């Protein structure tokens, strides 16, 4: 394959970077958790995606645009983007290993895309087939540039991963067309759904064509004129057009739009080095993480507008927490990590991946959650679950009417290794923990590492140095924010584990082939308490072990236990048990108590008239949040009230 | 005027009634709280409404339909209903006292309505002018029957209140047309927005034409075929078409639709006596009051779909609590009270009136809240407030794009006296407490009472018997559910106050002219605690005094106090102070404490790592919820966390 080719982000030439991404094939996920997720994605989900794109009419739409078929357009006007995201996923997969079936499916889709493109470079099956006279008339809601962005990303993937330039040729023709229309001195417009910005910066990294960066900058600089129409009553704030990006103080509006935009702006900073951009991004990151982030890493408190709520507005039941918004957060955090080298971004990447992205795909790989709420009350559907297709059997749907999330998960999983490690002049940084082999070049010399771990179930990580330069270099291992005690052992001898300013355990030495570094992260279950301003979570606790947030599903509780009526005792020990359930997870049992309520009690009573509650002790079982709903969706809660026991 | 004519509900001939409504002019609100609200409505709001209906195009739409003008239709397709509700309000007002200006405005509007009516009886300015070929093609969303219902109610008001039959003639022509189209053996359809049902039953009470009751029954019986299309992804449940009314177990979907429907079904039961209908209504009432009612009496937890949430889903910030839904609840409770005589319905009427309807109009009478949330977090708009027109100055809007609420408040206030008392063979029942004179006939003999009170600020109510039959009769005074101690004094002597099964203090005697009965309701401020299943309110308390729910507005707190960071101490006494604020209200001060937070604290922390909080004692001031937002809308909370103090 193309060993030296990069993955989704190639910042080797970027002006502003502390860490640098590795070639696509430098990290090979060997076994265990990440490898399994990737394997399911490759062998099951991608074929499922192909079938769904066929069934849902996405391919058919392109055939219509190409004049290859007759019929009616199907689905939303941004349906092409699902094809591009799926293609991007297939591209990264083919880059890691060939597969005749995936090759054939991709070739067919790429041919369709090629044929659908207009002679002038324009490409959008909806506008071409349904409203040919209306091209570029509705930048606010037309999604034409959004789709172009996903086309570019798929093109970059195929070029880098398998040296296949067919999609890139399509993309470049389209971008030339865009530059003519929207370039310097041309139409002062930008897209209602950010996405093209990050895509154009990445295209620039591939082509080094300054027009590509210039166009990204124009699309970013034009935002904030308070002219976009918004949606669901939100106005321009819905599309982050209320303020120029450099002046933004808060993450607001449609969550995916907001975080695709911040990703693009961060990309632009990496290339341009304009400090105001990075400052704005850090302000927004602080706002998101201090005021608008769910404990699972998900974002988007509001069903209406799929939007960020106000500060501390973080309801468990009605929260939206779209899978795509979580993925967008990964993209943004990855770039901030590359720029700063700060572990807090890798921490949030990890946390969001395990708890807000992994919860989307069903364990079998052929179903997806669009939204990821933290509570389903007593067997009732959450509004957003219903609206995004959870079926009568209360299962994840196989696909969605608006199917942005499934292929987004696919392209992430297909490129998962990209996010595990980076390198720079000092050495190698391990950001995420998964069983993997690393084969890369540090300062021009070959380095090979093997990582063994049963993470996230166990906190033991073993790095074996197989090949190393003779000069000293630094191996940096992230000490996760969730971990309060880490122990390093080098070749069987305990060594001091000091966390550097960057949040990493940095070990600089002359490494020898055969060196074994062991990292032991203490992984005790921990109760979490919410900020007192979060009204929706007052007096509740959540349960975390390692990077995993846990939840309580009705399936696992003793008969007769209603999750609406239980409280958790935090004064007694909890127990971790490996259970065969759902492919071998670590469950946690906690002591609790349950109120015997009939449901006919008054909703409100005088405080001085205590409600007579008969409490029964119960043992409650928690499972990782990401596996919820794999056995049907009944009751589920991440947060449970903490029992206030008599002193 | 027409002393013997009834008000909005005339159940004198109804099969199933325990209590009977009084003639329109039997109750005269003399002074004080209710009289002031009614006076503002009469002298300010009705004229404002007229101007707004002109400005918003509602009258213009009728002119278009009548062929009296040219132009474009404005507003929603149900715009006529705003005219009818305003007319109903004017009708009741004219029935109580003449007013040349109101007369002139009404006459003009009635003439417009007459002229707009088609020869076949059809009347709907939207369909007539915009989609004449589409009449009755969209029963789910067309609101044609909904508008007809409001026309009927206005017609009934004018006929009863001022013996003006012009609107009634229009309504009867329309209803004849409806009977031809939708009567027995005709088209099996019903309206997507209930309203015509209760209107037709009331029309039947006026006309005694059995076709009017028959049509109401048909519209009710046809509901529940799970065919309506719904809205916002809800499906048929949005319009309560998911189940036949007799099988319904829960209040669901769009809250106003649900409660207009239950009102109509309850009306039908009063006439038909079909037990299954009443049983279904009691099941729904239990569901609403035990699981889906806000502490203010408001309903509708969800912004999307303006809908009931799931059980115990009662968020303070994102709740919708539409004013019209609260008014619909009043209508329903009033009918259940008439049927059963049970005080719990009059209790909820009172509670909803003071805390969820009175909060809508601004104190000046020319602005209205569409939604009535229980929390505005730290100066930020609540989504539903923004969408329903709260302006840049954070004030109630003068009118709404969908202006259903303002004229609904107007028609209620114009007929407020109707809901104060009833009579039956046993005597007179006083349900609500307001300064008033009562002039009515009990068992064919004249009875005159005078009620003096400063309710809801004080719990003292004095009833003077001015004229009375010589035979014994029973005077029943509701002992409010909020009151735990009541004292009765007759002519200066304390007498036992025993609450009967109906929840009333029933005093049977040979009354003498000059008898003075005093009722003293102990009105101490009380903290309320929520049901433990209400996740949104855990560990919080609310404050009630008498029938009034209080709230904390930022305006009244000491400088620097952030309502997001305060807790209430419930272990120390609270104080009530009359303040000149906002027209002389009783404010309540409570001891509390405030956390000094910077806003940069982590959103989630380990439970074993206590957050260092510096608490400062503060005195917090609460005002009645219904006055909130009259000084601009900044922070407001009904529920505040209860301080957990060291034992």
**Of the residues B404, B405, B540, B551, which is catalytic?**
B404
* pLDDT tens-digit readout, B632-642: 988 999 999 99
Query: Where are any strands of DSSP class E within B300-433?
Result: 375-376, 421-424, 427-430
> What span, in angstroms and rounded, lies between the C-alpha atoms of A240 and A237?
5
B418: helix, coil or strand? helix
Q: Which residue of A has its CA nearest to B253?
A: A383
Tell me which residue has tokens 């299954």: B276
Residue B257 contacts residue B209 (beta carbons within 8 Å):
no
Residue B3: predicted pLDDT: 57
- Of the candidates B302, B529, B602, the beta carbon closest to that of A383 is on B302
Write out residues 41-100 of B within 8 Å (CB-CB) of A: none
Nearest CA in chain B to A534: B603
pLDDT in tens, A421-451: 999 999 999 999 999 999 998 878 899 999 9
A-contacting residues in B 482-501 (Cβ below 8 Å):
484
Closest CA to B419 of B92, B196, B156, B201: B92
CB contact at 8 A, A319 and A301 = yes
Distance CA A268, CA A285 (A): 16
Q: What's the DSSP call for residue B628?
A: T
Mutate to test the interface with B, among A310, A392, A644 (most CBs of B within 10 A): A310
pTM of the model as a whole: 0.95
Note whether B316 and B537 are within 8 A (CB): yes
Report CA torsion sign: B74, B80, B85, B91.
positive
Burial annotation B384-404 (CB, 10 A radius, 16+ → b, else e): bbbbbbbeeeebbbbbbebbb
pLDDT at A3: 57
Question: In this structure, is the dihedral angle defined by the CA atoms of residues B80, B371, B328 and B25, taken in order, positive or negative?
Answer: negative
DSSP B382: P
On the question of pLDDT at A314 being above 50, the answer is: yes
- Cβ distance B201 to B271 under 8 Å? yes
Confirm or reject contact between B535 and chain A (CB < 8 A): yes
Nearest CA among B519, B526, B451, B517 for reference residue B482: B526
How far apart CA A53 and CA A50 sit, in angstroms, is 5
For residue A497, the model assigns a pLDDT of: 81
B512: exposed, middle or buried (Cβ count in 10 Å: 0-12, 13-18, 19+) = exposed
- The residues that bridge with A493 in the sheet, in sequence order, are A490
Annotated catalytic, B601?
Answer: no
Tell me the Ramachandran region of residue A590: left when phi exceeds 0, alpha when psi lies from -120 to 50, beta otherwise. Answer: beta
| Residues in chain B closer than 8 A to A527 (CB atoms) | 606-608
State whether residue A562 sits within 8 Å of chain B by CB: no
Placement of tokens 């022509």 in the chain: B173
Under a CB-based contact definition with an 8 Å cutoff, are residues A270 and A252 in contact? no
Chain A environment of B607 (Cβ under 8 Å): 526-529, 541, 570, 642
CA A610 vs CA A606, B269, B581, B601: distances in Å: 8, 38, 35, 34
Q: What is residue B546's predicted lDDT score, i.e. its pLDDT?
A: 97
Of A291, A304, A641, the CB nearest to B383: A304
Of A570, A605, A606, the CB nearest to B607: A570
pLDDT of residue B581: 76
Nearest-CA neighbor of A150 among A512, A469, A404, A531? A404
For chain A, what is the radius of gyration of the CA atoms? 25
Q: Which two tokens stand for residue B54?
A: 């002109």
One DSSP character per residue, A508-520 reads EE---TT-EEEEE
| Higher local confidence (pLDDT), A399 or B1 | A399
- The pLDDT score that the predictor gives to residue A13 is 95
Chain A residues lying within 8 Å of B233, measured CB to CB: 383, 386-387
Residue given tokens 């007539």 in the structure block: B128
Place of tokens 């007052």: A538
Q: Is the peptide bond before B337 cis (omega within 30 degrees of 0)?
A: no
Does A3 contact chain B (CB < 8 Å)? no
For the residues A52-75, what does the mean pLDDT come to? 97
**Chain B residues close to A535, C-beta within 8 Å:** 316-317, 375, 377, 536, 540
Q: Pick out chain B residues at pLDDT < 70.
A: 1-3, 379, 645-647
Give Dmax (Cα) for chain A.
Answer: 78
Q: Is the pLDDT confidence value at A389 over 90?
A: no
Q: What is the pLDDT of residue B507?
A: 96
- Residues B294, B542: Cα–Cα separation, whole Å: 11
Backbone angles phi, psi at A447, to 5 degrees: -135, 135
Number of H helices, E strands in chain B: 17, 23
B306 to chain A: closest CA residue: A304
* DSSP 8-state code for residue A547: T
CB B566 within 8 A of CB B375: no
A504 contacts A343 by C-beta, under 8 angstroms: yes
Complex ipTM, two decimals? 0.95
Nearest to B595 by CA among B555, B641, B635, B634: B641
Ordered strands of the A473-478 beta sheet: A20-21, A421-424, A427-430, A473-478, A504-509
Question: What Cα–Cα distance (Å) separates residue B126 from each residue in A111, A442, B121?
Answer: 50, 74, 15
DSSP state of B527: E
pLDDT of residue B635: 93
pLDDT computed for residue A1 by the predictor: 37
CA gap A453, A267 in Å, rounded? 32
Cα(B290)–Cα(B344) distance, rounded to whole angstroms?
A: 13
pLDDT reported for residue B2:
44
Residue A529 sits at the chain B interface (C-beta within 8 Å): yes
The bridge status of strand B427-430 relative to strand B473-478 is parallel
- B98 phi and psi angles, rounded to 5 deg: -75, 160
Average pLDDT (A100-108) is 98
In the residue annotation, B462 being an active-site residue is answered as: no
Closest by CA to A190, choosing from A218, A164, A219, A213, is: A219
CB contact under 8 A, B527 and A286: no
CA angle in degrees (0–180, nearest 5) for A237-A243-A245: 110
- Which carries the bigger pLDDT value, residue B644 or residue A158? A158
Give the number of other Cβ atoms within 10 Å of residue A385's Cβ.
21
Cβ of A481: how many Cβ atoms within 10 Å? 16
Nearest to A538 among B302, B528, B641 (CB): B641
Q: Are B563 and B554 in contact (CB under 8 A)?
A: yes
Look up tokens 């509670």; give the residue: B351
Catalytically annotated residue among A147, A191, A404, A551? A404
CA distance A559 to B83: 57
> Could you identify the residue written with the tokens 């995993």?
A548
Amino acid B646: pLDDT: 58
Burial of B85 (0-12, 13-18, 19+ CB in 10 A): buried
Per-residue pLDDT, B4: 78
Query: How do residues A187-238 score in pLDDT, each as one tens digit?
Result: 999 999 999 999 999 999 999 999 999 999 999 999 999 999 888 778 899 9
- The pLDDT of residue B647: 47
DSSP per-residue letters across B25-57: TTEEE-SHHHHHHHHHIIIIIHHHHHHHHHHTT
CA distance B506 to B476: 4
Band (pLDDT 50/70/90 cuts) for residue A380 is: confident
* pLDDT at residue B231, rounded to an integer: 85
What is d(CA A374, CA A377) in angstroms, rounded to the nearest whole number?
10
């Amino acid at each position: 394959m193309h060993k030296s080719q990069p993955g989704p982000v190639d910042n080797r030439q970027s002006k502003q970077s502390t860490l640098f991404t590795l070639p696509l094939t430098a990290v090979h996920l060997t076994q265990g958790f990440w490898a399994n997720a990737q394997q399911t994605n490759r062998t099951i989900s991608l074929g499922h995606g192909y079938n769904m794109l066929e069934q849902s009419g996405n391919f058919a739409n392109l055939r219509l645009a190409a004049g290859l078929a007759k019929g009616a357009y199907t689905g939303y006007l941004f349906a092409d983007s699902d094809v591009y995201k799926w293609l991007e996923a297939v591209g990264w997969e083919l880059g890691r290993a060939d597969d005749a079936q995936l090759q054939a499916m991709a070739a067919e889709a790429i041919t369709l895309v090629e044929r659908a493109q207009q002679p002038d470079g324009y490409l959008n099956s909806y506008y071409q087939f349904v409203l040919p006279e209306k091209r570029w008339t509705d930048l606010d809601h037309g999604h034409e540039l959004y789709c172009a962005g996903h086309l570019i990303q798929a093109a970059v993937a195929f070029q880098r991963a398998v040296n296949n330039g067919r999609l890139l040729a399509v993309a470049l023709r389209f971008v030339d067309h865009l530059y003519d229309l929207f370039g310097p001195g041309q139409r002062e417009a930008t897209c209602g759904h950010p996405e093209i910005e990050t895509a154009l910066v990445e295209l620039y990294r591939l082509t080094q064509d300054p027009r590509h960066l210039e166009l990204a900058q124009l699309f970013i600089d034009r935002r904030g004129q308070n002219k976009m129409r918004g949606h669901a009553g939100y106005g321009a704030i819905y599309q982050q057009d209320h303020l120029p990006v450099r002046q933004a103080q808060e993450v607001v509006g449609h969550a995916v739009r907001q975080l695709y935009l911040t990703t693009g702006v961060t990309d632009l900073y990496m290339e341009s080095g304009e400090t105001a951009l990075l400052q704005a991004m850090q302000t927004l990151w602080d706002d998101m993480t201090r005021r608008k982030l769910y404990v699972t890493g998900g974002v988007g408190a509001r069903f209406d507008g799929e939007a960020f709520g106000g500060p501390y507005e973080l309801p468990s039941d009605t929260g939206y927490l779209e899978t795509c918004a979580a993925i967008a957060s990964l993209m943004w955090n990855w770039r901030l990590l590359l720029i700063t080298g700060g572990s807090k971004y890798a921490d949030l990447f990890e946390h969001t991946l395990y708890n807000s992205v992994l919860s989307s795909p069903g364990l079998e790989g052929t179903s997806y959650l669009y939204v990821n709420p933290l509570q389903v009350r007593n067997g009732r559907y959450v509004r957003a679950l219903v609206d995004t297709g959870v079926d009568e059997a209360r299962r994840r749907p196989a696909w969605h009417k608006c199917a942005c999330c499934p292929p987004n998960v696919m392209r992430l999983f297909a490129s998962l290794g990209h996010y595990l490690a980076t390198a720079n002049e000092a050495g190698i940084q391990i950001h995420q923990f998964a069983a993997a082999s690393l084969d890369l070049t540090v300062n021009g010399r070959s380095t090979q590492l093997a990582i063994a771990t049963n993470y996230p179930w166990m906190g033991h990580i073993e790095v074996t140095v197989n090949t190393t330069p003779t000069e000293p270099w630094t191996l940096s291992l992230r000490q996760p924010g969730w971990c309060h005690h880490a122990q390093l052992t080098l070749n069987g001898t305990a060594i001091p584990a000091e966390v550097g300013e960057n949040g990493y355990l940095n070990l600089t030495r002359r490494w020898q082939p055969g060196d074994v570094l062991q990292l032991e992260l203490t992984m005790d279950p921990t109760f979490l308490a919410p900020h007192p301003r979060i009204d929706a979570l007052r007096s509740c606790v959540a349960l975390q072990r390692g990077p995993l947030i846990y939840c309580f599903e009705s399936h696992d509780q003793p008969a007769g236990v209603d999750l609406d009526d239980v409280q958790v005792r935090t004064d007694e020990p909890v127990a971790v048990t490996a259970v065969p359930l759902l492919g071998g997870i670590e469950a946690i049992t906690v002591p609790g108590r349950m109120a015997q309520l009939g449901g006919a009690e008054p909703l409100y009573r005088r405080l001085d008239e205590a409600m007579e509650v008969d409490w029964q002790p119960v043992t409650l079982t928690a499972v990782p949040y990401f596996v919820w709903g794999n056995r049907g969706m009944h009751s589920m809660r991440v947060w449970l009230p903490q029992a206030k026991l008599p002193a």
